Amino acid sequence: KQEVTQIPAALSVPEGENLVLNCSFTDSAIYNLQWFRQDPGKGLTSLLLIQSSQREQTSGRLNASLDKSSGRSTLYIAASQPGDSATYLCAVRTGETSGSRLTFGEGTQLTVNP
Amino acid sequence: GAVVSQHPSRVICKSGTSVKIECRSLDFQATTMFWYRQFPKQSLMLMATSNEGSKATYEQGVEKDKFLINHASLTLSTLTVTSAHPEDSSFYICSAGQGSWRDTIYFGEGSWLTVV
C-alpha cells in the first residue's frame, strides 16, 4: 500500500526566505507526482505536475524535483511571500488509467511572516 | 488551466434530510471524477471514484447507500448525502482529470456541509 509522508508538518519562516518542503513515498512505482496548495477552507490548486520520467519542474518561484528511485520529492519556494502561506500537499499517482487514484500526504502548513 | 466547479460552496441542512453536491468540469470532459472528504487539519480521504455511465467505486468503509454518487454526463457528477446526521458535517471536494494519467488532476472549490 502506497504511503506518502510530508515533512515538516508545519513551517514558519520570515518573508524573503527560500524554503524546501519534503515529500516521500513508499512505493516507487508511480506514474507522476503532483504538488497542490490549499488555502484554509478552500479547494486544492495544482502547482506542479512531474511525470515519473522527469527530474524537475519549474513554475515561477516554485521548483519541484523528483527522485523516483529513492521515493522523494521536494518543493522549493524561492523568496517566500506572505501570500505563499497555505497548506502544501503532495500526491502520487500509481495507476495508468484515468481512474487511477491519487495518494496524498498529510500536508505541510506554511506560514510566511511579513 | 482546466476548471472544476462545485456547488453549493456551503450548505446547512437538518438532520435526516438529504443534500446534493454537484461537481462540474467546465472546459473538458471527465470520464472519471473523484469525491473526497476532508476533516479539519487532515488530508483528503478518497470516498469514491465516479465513472460516467456506470456505478461508482467506493472505498472501503464508505457507505454507498448513504453517499449516493451519480455521474450522468461527461461534465457532471453529483454526491448526495442521504439521511444526513451531524457526523456527516465535513468538507467535501471533487476532482477530475482530462482522461490520461499524464494529465493534471484539478480540484473543485469544495463544499462545506453542516448538518444541524
> Which chain B residues touch A43 with a CB distance below 8 Å?
6, 93, 107-110
Specify the 3-state DSSP secondary structure of A84.
helix
Q: What is the DSSP string of B62-82?
A: --TTTEEEEEEETTEEEEEE-
Does residue B98 have a pLDDT over 80? Answer: no
- Tell me the per-residue pLDDT of B12-49, one tens digit each, with 9 for 90 and over: 999 999 999 999 999 888 888 999 999 888 889 999 99
Does residue A99 have a pLDDT over 70? Answer: no
Q: Where are the beta strands (DSSP E) in B4-85?
A: 4-7, 10-13, 19-25, 32-38, 44-51, 57-58, 67-73, 76-81
Does residue A45 have a pLDDT over 90? Answer: yes
The set of cell numbers assigned to A107 is: 500536508
Distances from the Cα of B61 to the Cαs of B37, B38, B48, B58, in angstroms? Answer: 13, 15, 10, 8
Does residue A21 have a pLDDT over 70? Answer: yes
Does residue A98 have a pLDDT over 60? Answer: no
Whether the CB-CB separation of B114 and B15 falls below 8 Å is answered with no
d(CA A84, CA A86): 6
d(CA B47, CA B92): 9
Mean pLDDT score across all residues of chain A: 93
Asked if the Cβ–Cβ distance from B46 to A101 is below 8 Å, we say yes
When pLDDT is averaged across residues A63-88 and rounded to a whole number, the result is 97
Mean pLDDT score across all residues of chain B: 91
Distances from the Cα of A97 to the Cαs of A101, B20, B31, B64, B98, in angstroms? Answer: 9, 28, 11, 23, 11
d(CA A97, CA A99): 5
When pLDDT is averaged across residues A34-45 and rounded to a whole number, the result is 93
d(CA B109, CA A42): 6
State residue B27's pLDDT score.
85
When pLDDT is averaged across residues B82-101 and rounded to a whole number, the result is 89
Name which of A6, A31, A44 to mutate to probe chain B: the one with the most chain B Cβ atoms within 10 A of its Cβ: A44
User: Does the CB of B43 have a partner CB in chain A at under 8 Å?
Assistant: yes
Point out the least confidently predicted range of A79-88, B36-45, B62-71.
B36-45
Sign of the Cα pseudo-torsion (B85, B68, B4, B43, in order): positive
What's the count of helices (H) and strands (E) in chain A, helices before strands? Answer: 0, 11
User: Does the CB of B97 have a partner CB in chain A at under 8 Å?
Assistant: yes
When pLDDT is averaged across residues B1-21 and rounded to a whole number, the result is 92
Whether the CB-CB separation of B10 and B112 falls below 8 Å is answered with yes
Does residue B1 have a pLDDT over 70? Answer: no
